[in-house]
Amino acid sequence: MSGAALPEATWVRHYQPGVPAEIEVPQESLVALYERATAEAGDAVATEFFGRETSYRELGDQIARAAEGLRRLGVRAGDRVALILPNCPQHVVAFYAVLRLGAIAVEHNPLYTARELRHMFEDHGARVVIAWDAAVAKLREQPADVELDAIVSVNLLKAFPLVKRLALGLPVPKLRATRNRLTQPAPGTTSWEELLTAPAIDAAHPRPTVDDLAVIQYTSGTTGRPKGAMLTHKNLYSNALQGEAWMHGAQYRQETFYAILPMFHAFGMTLFLTYGIHKQGRLVLFPSFDVDLVLDAARKHPPTVYCAVPPIYEATARRAKERGIDLSTAKYCISGAMSLPDSTVELWESVSGGLLVEGYGMTEASPVCLGNPFHPSRRTGTIGVPFPSTWMRVADPEDLDRDVAPGEPGELLIHGPQVFQGYWHNEAETAQTLLPGHWLRTGDIVTVDDDGFTTIVDRAKEIIITGGFNVAPSEVEQVLTSHGAIADAAVVGMPNPSGGERVVAAVTLDAGAEVSHDELRAFCRDRLAAYKVPREFHVVDELPKSMLGKVLRRQVRDSLESHAPLR
């Protein structure tokens, strides 16, 4: 394609001083990354889980034994191994044990339903699963055509400190309920502890190459059925090194990463499983976000790297102020997955020790590809500029060979060593997403200023076409959430019997608030062109959201088909 040449990276001049324009693309696999970390960091703490610490030396030993245990279960190079785990020490070990064999880790949300898991298992064909024992029952519900050779069950309580384990064993109803949430019997499986009884894998056992597949990471599926993005060792290692370059000044064995984002998600995987281990940092692991648990941990080992989504920053900052807990150590803070309000930036920076900057990524880019600098050159309200060794184009969605002018909306295209290799068993979708020259179509409509700072306008596939005009849902949502009674909003296009779409809004209200259809119509008409004003408003109890807090518009659209609008 005529636009495939790499553009001039004029945005580099806005980087934080010391951040390079390019990284040295790795020539070794992630196995080399973790083996270097476990050898060099030794007795330094690798993971902390409810106060229990595991050293890098212990981590390396557990990975070697888990790898041999998996080999004895029949796992070979190129096999897919499914991981269904929350954030826990076993997750870190399992991830690298799979990679040590040259096998492919396939991450799954442990809260997926049996139906959601079935589609993925039918697609990737993993025969060995490492699963949280509370999720094993869903595997038992799979039909006969989803054949499994072995299930390794993980009891989270076994990773707790002894005192906490004993406390949870007391015959107290509240403690019993907590214990039942954390673990469930999983008969007929191989326990994690049994897996680790194997000796260390033979050091001569072949290691993967940098170009081998490391992970199949399923997309969120907000625009259709989830697809498995194929990520190589080079893709993931490159993104870890790009993150290292961006967080200029972060020190080996000196940083404390708060693993709040799930490691089964691309953002958490790169931040903690690859970049965090590469920096030989302390990973403080949380199975789910609980603001008081986070702040309790901060009293003993406060975070220096705290990456999250805006609602988590809001909750953490407010509660820290209430409890008088110092978060001034938090120097490296990146927000992603959804727009970052100025009010959140101000609130977080009033309690933290560094800048809160917005970044941008997608599963298909390992995932991070743009970010705001940790420097006064950052521009709030934008997703920043491309990372080192990353190039972007902004093209006409109807003619991808034509780059639009600065300031003109267009589709964001990305090129760099972190860009994926395509979708597992889905050549048609791969051809639509990966363009000649290995340019990635993001599906996001953006504008870029003369300095390269990029602002998302909307998802190309979520643009509403009504009366021949394009409506960006996010623009209407921003207007709605500025109304004093509205807590949150999602705007979608619903089909008209005569063709095209009509603009429809689903809103949640603040406690005790009331609104009418006419009131909201009038409010929007004062702020939006007539064709952008929703024709219907639906008041709902909550909006469906992804694990990172992003509203799932497709699910909103489906739910409104049988929901009565506001009158």
pLDDT at 207 over 50: yes
Mean pLDDT of the 515-531 span: 90
- Which SS3 state, helix, strand or coil, does residue 101 take? coil
pLDDT at 173: 79
**DSSP labels, 469-483:** EEE-HHHHHHHHHTS
pLDDT band at 145 (very low <50, low <70, confident <90, very high): confident
C-alpha neighbours within 13 Å on the C-beta side of residue 363: 22
Lowest-pLDDT range of 1-15, 47-61, 293-307: 1-15
Lowest-pLDDT range of 51-65, 237-251, 425-439, 471-485: 471-485
Q: Please tell me the distance from the alpha carbon of residue 295 to that of residue 78, in angstroms, as a whole number.
A: 41
pLDDT at 294: 97
Q: Please tell me the distance from the alpha carbon of residue 198 to that of residue 68, in angstroms, as a whole number.
A: 6
Give the number of other Cβ atoms within 10 Å of residue 453's Cβ. 21
pLDDT at 368: 96
Q: Is the bond preceding residue 89 a cis peptide, omega within 30 degrees?
A: no
Contact 366, 358 (CB under 8 A): no
Contact 153, 133 (CB under 8 A): yes
pLDDT at 549 over 80: no
The pair of structure tokens assigned to 324 is 């008088």
Mean pLDDT of the 544-567 span: 85
pLDDT at 222: 35
How do beta strands 439-448 and 410-415 pair? Answer: antiparallel
Q: What is the mean pLDDT of the chain?
A: 92
The model carries a pTM of 0.85
pLDDT at 245: 98
Lowest-pLDDT range of 72-86, 409-423, 457-471, 472-486: 457-471
Mean pLDDT of the 97-104 span: 98
Q: Please tell me the distance from the alpha carbon of residue 32 to that of residue 207, in angstroms, as a whole number.
A: 9
pLDDT at 355 over 90: yes
pLDDT at 468 over 80: no
Report CA-CA distances (Å) from 141 to 58, 116, 148: 36, 11, 12
Report CA-CA distances (Å) from 40 to 236, 253, 278: 21, 10, 11
Q: Please tell me the distance from the alpha carbon of residue 105 to that of residue 215, in angstroms, as a whole number.
A: 5
> Phi/psi of residue 354, each to 5°?
-155, -175
Report CA-CA distances (Å) from 123 to 111, 120, 306, 367, 388: 19, 5, 34, 22, 34
Give alpha helix (H) positions in 396-472: 427-433
Please write down the long-range contacts of 113-118, taking CB distance under 8 Å and 24 or more positions apart.
Answer: 113/138, 114/138, 114/139, 114/141, 114/142, 116/226, 117/84, 117/142, 118/142, 118/143, 118/146
- Which SS3 state, helix, strand or coil, does residue 40 take? helix
pLDDT band at 501 (very low <50, low <70, confident <90, very high): confident
Contact 263, 272 (CB under 8 A): yes
